[in-house]
Amino acid sequence: MARSKWYCPHTRTSQPPIGACFYRHREGRPRSRSALLRHSPGSSPRAIPLAYTRPMRQKVPIRAGLLVFVLALGGGLFSQSNPDWTEPFTPFRIAGNLYYVGSKGLASYLISTAEGNILINSDLEANVPMISQSIEKLGFHFKDTKILLISHAHWDHDAGSAMVMRMTGAEYMVMDADVSVVESGGKTDFQYGNTPGSLYPAARVGRILHDGDKVKLGGTVLVAHLTPGHTRGCTTWTMKVSDGGKTYDVVIVGSPNVNPGYKLVGNPAYPQIAEDYERMWRVLESLPCDIFLGAHGGYFGLEEKYPLRKEGGANPFVDPDGYKRFIAQKEQEFREELAKQKLAAR
């Protein structure tokens, strides 16, 4: 007897289980997938519904899901995979009213004043509780943070800003060219705006800063220097601190790095990027520096210098020569990369 025109190869009946799909055949016997795909010479192939076998139905969604997951998060996970970024580091006083409260790899700074405190860099969201604890360990209160500043609008330095503002009520002050990036949660960043893993909670800016603006609180004055290139609004902070009867010039470098993938030649998303880097070198070379700091501990040798601190001894963070060497090295790296890209563009 001829079978029904529908046939389920899994149940071997004309009634498939829920969710199964069945093959259609024109004769009284089941057809294989290969048979269904064949057609006689000169005839056109007929569109016949086909289905994955059970193993295929299991493997394809899993593989597709993994692929989507990797594509969506790959950039962010890769860039946030450095364990130093979330590894705690002992908070300490650098000099005067300036303190280190960041992690091993991501630098954050507390400036204490009689009218409240200033925090530079919120870092990753996961780092905010660590920063809070570091501030408390030093004898200050996280809730007394009145002003929040950043070195530049990349997630590893500003992803926690919205959280800091919620917890402290601090006013967020950002360089003009980076405002749209922080207020969009990273979506308008020229390099990482389309990388899901590089996005973060948007934060509203309370004061828009411009090159040379001063941030004042309780007698402390910080100056915002626009040092663009790494981001459009990358900011290097300077201030003076008094310690042991001496006054020191502090420089907290925003970032001189040319990240992997940065296009220095013919970049439609940031046409003047090379010119901005040139401006940055001129600014950094012009700044007087005694105490050399930066957005990452690796810039200024945090791990190497910290053990050298001694009561009454020389402060290892007073390192004007180290600052000059660092800037010279980074400028050389930029020029080498620029030359390579210009050659490739010919």
pLDDT in the model for residue 302? 98
1.10.1740.10, 3.50.50.60, 3.90.25.10, 3.60.15.10: CATH of 82-345: 3.60.15.10
Instruction: Delimit the domains of the chain by residue range.
Output: 1-40, 82-345
Q: In whole angstroms, what separates CA 267 from the centre of its chain?
A: 20
The pair of three-digit structure tokens given for residue 7, joined into one six-digit string: 């046939």
Query: Could you read off the pLDDT of 320-330 as tens digits, one per residue?
Result: 999 999 999 99
Q: Provide the pLDDT confidence category of residue 81 given band limits of 50, 70 and 90.
A: low
What pLDDT does residue 37 have?
Answer: 35
pLDDT, residue 231, reads 98
**What global pTM score does this model have?**
0.78
Whether 36 has a pLDDT exceeding 60, the answer reads no
Q: Quickly tell me which residue has 């070379």 as its tokens.
A: 285
Q: Phi/psi class of residue 66: alpha, beta or left (left: φ > 0; alpha: ψ in -120 to 50)?
A: alpha
Half-sphere exposure in the Cβ direction for 337 (13 Å, CA): 19
What would the pLDDT profile of 304-318 be if each residue is shown by its tens digit?
999 999 887 899 999
Q: Which residue has the higher pLDDT, 2 or 189?
A: 189
For residue 43, is pLDDT > 60? no
pLDDT tens digits, 83-142: 999 999 999 999 999 999 999 999 999 999 999 999 999 999 999 999 999 999 999 999
Q: What is the rounded average pLDDT of the residues 176-189?
A: 98
The two three-digit tokens of residue 50, written as one number: 């086909």
pLDDT of residue 27: 36
Encoded tokens for 181: 């990036």
Of 270, 287, 279, whose CA–CA distance to 334 is shortest? 279
